[in-house]
């Protein structure tokens, strides 16, 4: 740690070594240049990378040559390593919206497909698979229209992805957490979205389709 300077003590000038250590800690991609995004992420990683607050970085005039290496080591570690709590937050931020996507997609596909099959399926001689395909088309359209709103609602509920540095975003842990979140989220959502099948009467649908086909065949016979 560092000690507060006595009252009235003049601030110490930052040395070239200190500047170099701070610059290398902020230069996440090692390009030799620090853009605004890297600078912002570096400050965020130093202050609140984890879900719980960190101790703030010492003011520059409190930093001396003895703890420059310690600051640089900690900054470098935080720019590449990710805490398990952060990985869990990344997983949830990815999974929750996909639960909504999967739920909407399957629910609308099943309801719309059944409606199409009952209403115009026999008239247009549509098979069950064709009706399901048209239902999937409608569900995809609704999914595209509501995707931003689902993500916004998830963020309002507190499932917002934490800020990561460029090095952390390219690390294996966060990338795996995003993929697993998407897979598990869409799977759970699709299973929940199948609830209309609990209200589905397959025998009634089959009988109604047969009646529609009989009416259509009778109408064709009368015309001939």
- The rounded distance, in Å, linking the Cα atoms of 44 and 176 is 22
Q: Mean pLDDT across the stretch 126-140?
A: 87
pLDDT value at residue 181: 96
Asked whether the beta carbons of 77 and 54 are under 8 A apart, the reply is: no
- Listed as own residue / partner, the contacts of 118-126 with beta carbons closer than 8 Å and 24 or more positions apart are 118/205, 118/208, 118/209, 121/209, 121/212, 122/209, 122/212, 122/213, 122/215, 122/216, 123/212, 123/216, 125/216
Query: Which residue did the predictor score with more confidence, 197 or 121?
Result: 197
Please write the tens of the pLDDT for every residue from 22-54.
777 777 776 777 888 878 777 766 654 443 444
Percentage of the chain surpassing pLDDT 90? 26
């Amino acid at each position: 740690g560092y000690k507060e300077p006595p009252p009235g003590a003049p601030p110490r000038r930052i040395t070239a070594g200190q500047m170099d250590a701070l610059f290398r800690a902020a230069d996440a991609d090692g390009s030799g240049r620090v853009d605004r995004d890297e600078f912002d992420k570096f400050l965020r990683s130093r202050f609140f990378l984890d879900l719980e607050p960190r101790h703030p970085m010492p003011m520059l005039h409190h930093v001396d040559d003895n703890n420059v290496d310690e600051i640089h080591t900690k900054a470098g570690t935080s720019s590449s390593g990710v805490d398990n709590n952060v990985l869990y937050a990344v997983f949830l931020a990815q999974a929750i919206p996909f639960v909504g996507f999967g739920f909407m997609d399957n629910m609308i596909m099943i309801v719309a497909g059944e409606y199409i099959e009952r209403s115009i399926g026999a008239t247009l001689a549509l098979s069950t698979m064709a009706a399901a395909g048209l239902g999937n088309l409608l569900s995809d359209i609704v999914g595209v229209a509501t995707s931003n709103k689902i993500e916004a609602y998830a963020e309002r509920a507190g499932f917002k992805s934490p800020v990561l540095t460029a090095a952390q975003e390219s690390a294996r842990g966060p990338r795996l957490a995003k993929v697993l979140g998407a897979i598990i989220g869409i799977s759970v959502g699709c299973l929940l979205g199948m609830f209309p099948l609990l209200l589905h009467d397959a025998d009634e649908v089959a009988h109604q389709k047969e009646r529609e086909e009989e009416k259509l065949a009778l109408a064709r016979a009368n015309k001939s």
